[in-house]
Chain A
């Protein structure tokens, strides 16, 4: 029984650590987004709170915490409270299968622990896809329960958008799955070790470069970010599905959106860009004899890749105008979907021929 409780304690500690890092990242992102947007538009960004405005996220958090919590008249109270939770939980739960660092084990209290992944399940990729699709419920129900036309329209738009682009995300990943022959994110990342030419974006015999582009565009659409932010298009729908939300409930939707951004960036890094693997064989720290500190380099590369993607999100927001709704649907179904399908066919044929001659 003590072993079971010890195991539980270790798992809980891992979950708490990952949650903490994700929440910290979200806090950094809210500031980084405003700063990056500011610099790109030749402004300063937030400058008031703390030196260079670095304490702005804390001020925002306090503000949201102390705001009045308003439930609009005629709203469905139960659904109105449930929706933010339904949006937030799937965004957080996906991090359970992300490998943040080398797949090594440490011995602690006589148990084997994998320090850099909470749970290495054999259907990791599908697990993330499953919970990403549940995130749509929070948005739809939030829009419906608010008893407001703008919210409802925002929620419905989001439902259509998420269903359309989720398909492309799933199909774009299939190419990687064919090449790795596994659904576990840990195994997929391990298979990409040994230099950037082994990353699945560039890997022989079927570089997944098209799948990567489809994945990134669809991921931006799935997280409702500019230029695909139609569910919350402020010029048409006030603020979309969270028009009626205030205080902490609004904060939940907000955190869910940013946590989703971090999640899709982690998945993109793990599937296409080698995860924690450095772009050169091995690690520098291992070469100079610091074998036991090599994990620091792995985690650092993973962080760099994830933040690179997050910067791309900000860059797109500063650069591109919003798409029209019919353009969005046409682009998803008539451009992205055929490319993703063609990629699967080409990858499958290439892998078959490659395995014949191996």
Chain B
């Protein structure tokens, strides 16, 4: 039964991920990305990580993708061919990713992965487990990640800020 579900979710994820880049209409791409996010959440549920599944849907499908859709609709990319056939950019991103993937694959074949601290998720509350791990073992990476997000936020504000013309004080 588990294998059946995994096969279904993995298959749909792979298919929709390809469709995201294959569709010419960016709104269809966004929709297949939405389906992909849902199936990733489904994969988390089969692993008994319900909290992660819910957060996956709330953050990615509920917030980030809606913003994407927002931008796509405002730009009206349907008639704009500027963003299609970006082979050079694709190679620039895809090349390093492929090498990284191969290195990781070779590494995992050579040595078994270091045992991560295990929590009994079957019996316990997995929200509690994630919270405790995040604020003890992985506290530093967690804080660094939030700092990176803060920097990105400041960057967005700086880019979007307009000079306010000087007005006489009233």
Contact of A127 with B by CB under 8 A: yes
Q: Is A129 in contact with B69, judged by CB distance below 8 angstroms? A: no
> Which DSSP category, helix, strand, loop or mixed, fits chain B's interface?
helix
Residue on A nearest B72 in the bound complex, by CB: A144
Q: Is B67 in contact with A123, judged by CB distance below 8 angstroms? A: no
**Which one of A158-166, A223-231, A332-340 contacts B?**
A158-166
Q: Which of A137, A144, A160 has the most CB of B within 10 A?
A: A137
Q: Given contacts A122-B125, A144-B73, A156-B74, are A130 and B54 in contact (CB under 8 A)?
A: yes
Tell me, rounded to whole Å, the shortest Cβ–Cβ distance linking B49 to chain A.
10
Task: Among A122, A126, A141, A159, point to the contact of B58 (Cβ < 8 A).
Answer: A126
Q: Is B54 in contact with A159, judged by CB distance below 8 angstroms? A: no
Q: Point out the residues of chain A lying under 8 angstroms from B66, CB to CB.
A: 133, 136-137, 140, 159, 162-163
Q: Point out the residues of chain B lying under 8 angstroms from A129, CB to CB.
A: 54, 58, 62
Q: Point out the residues of chain B lying under 8 angstroms from A13, CB to CB.
A: none
Tell me, rounded to whole Å, the shortest Cβ–Cβ distance linking A57 to chain B.
32
Contact of B17 with A by CB under 8 A: no
Tell me, rounded to whole Å, the shortest Cβ–Cβ distance linking B12 to chain A.
17
Q: Is A123 in contact with B127, judged by CB distance below 8 angstroms? A: yes
Contact of A113 with B by CB under 8 A: no
Tell me, rounded to whole Å, the shortest Cβ–Cβ distance linking B44 to chain A.
11
Q: How many residues of A contact B (CB 8 A)?
A: 29
Contact of B101 with A by CB under 8 A: no
Contact of A89 with B by CB under 8 A: no
Q: Point out the residues of chain B lying under 8 angstroms from A126, CB to CB.
A: 51, 54-55, 58
Q: Point out the residues of chain A lying under 8 angstroms from B125, CB to CB.
A: 122, 182
Contact of B13 with A by CB under 8 A: no
Q: Point out the residues of chain A lying under 8 angstroms from B27, CB to CB.
A: 76, 79, 141, 144
Q: How far is B58's CA from A133's CA once the two chains are assembled, in angstroms? A: 7
Residue on A nearest B64 in the bound complex, by CB: A163
> Which DSSP category, helix, strand, loop or mixed, fits chain A's interface?
helix
Q: Given contacts A130-B57, A130-B58, are A123 and B51 in contact (CB under 8 A)?
A: yes
Q: Point out the residues of chain A lying under 8 angstroms from B63, CB to CB.
A: 133, 163, 166
Tell me, rounded to whole Å, the shortest Cβ–Cβ distance linking A161 to chain B.
11
Q: How far is B31's CA from A129's CA once the two chains are assembled, in angstroms? A: 20
Interface string of B69-112 (1 = CB under 8 A from A): 11001100000000000000000000000000000000000000
Residue on A nearest B41 in the bound complex, by CB: A130
Q: Given contacts A156-B74, A160-B70, are A133 and B51 in contact (CB under 8 A)?
A: no
Q: Point out the residues of chain A lying under 8 angstroms from B73, CB to CB.
A: 140, 144, 152, 155-156
Tell me, rounded to whole Å, the shortest Cβ–Cβ distance linking A66 to chain B.
31
Contact of A134 with B by CB under 8 A: yes
Residue on A nearest B126 in the bound complex, by CB: A122
Q: How far is B40's CA from A130's CA once the two chains are assembled, in angstroms? A: 14
Q: Point out the residues of chain B lying under 8 angstroms from A76, CB to CB.
A: 27
Residue on A nearest B25 in the bound complex, by CB: A76
Residue on A nearest B38 in the bound complex, by CB: A134
Q: Point out the residues of chain B lying under 8 angstroms from A132, CB to CB.
A: 62
Q: How far is B51's CA from A131's CA once the two chains are assembled, in angstroms? A: 14
Task: Among A79, A121, A134, A162, point to the contact of B57 (Cβ < 8 A).
Answer: A134
Residue on A nearest B128 in the bound complex, by CB: A181
Q: Is B61 in contact with A134, judged by CB distance below 8 angstroms? A: yes
Q: Is B50 in contact with A123, judged by CB distance below 8 angstroms? A: yes
Contact of A55 with B by CB under 8 A: no
Tell me, rounded to whole Å, the shortest Cβ–Cβ distance linking B67 to chain A.
7
Q: Point out the residues of chain B lying under 8 angstroms from A121, CB to CB.
A: 50
Interface string of A141-171 (1 = CB under 8 A from B): 1001000000010011001101100100010
Residue on B nearest A135 in the bound complex, by CB: B62
Q: Is B69 in contact with A140, judged by CB distance below 8 angstroms? A: yes
Task: Among A122, A137, A140, A163, point to the contact of B127 (Cβ < 8 A).
Answer: A122
Interface string of B122-138 (1 = CB under 8 A from A): 00011100000000000
Known A122-B50, A133-B58; 13 more pairs at CB < 8 Å: A121-B50, A132-B62, A133-B66, A137-B34, A137-B69, A140-B66, A141-B27, A144-B73, A159-B69, A159-B70, A166-B62, A170-B58, A183-B127
Give 11 pairs: A residue, B residue, CB < 8 Å, sorted on A.
A122-B125, A129-B58, A130-B61, A133-B62, A134-B62, A136-B66, A144-B27, A156-B70, A159-B66, A160-B70, A166-B63
Binding site for A on B (CB under 8 A): 27, 31, 34, 50-51, 53-55, 57-58, 61-63, 66-67, 69-70, 73-74, 125-127
Pick the 3 closest A-B CB pairs, nearest first: A133-B62, A126-B54, A130-B57
Binding site for B on A (CB under 8 A): 76, 79, 121-123, 126-127, 129-134, 136-137, 140-141, 144, 152, 155-156, 159-160, 162-163, 166, 170, 182-183
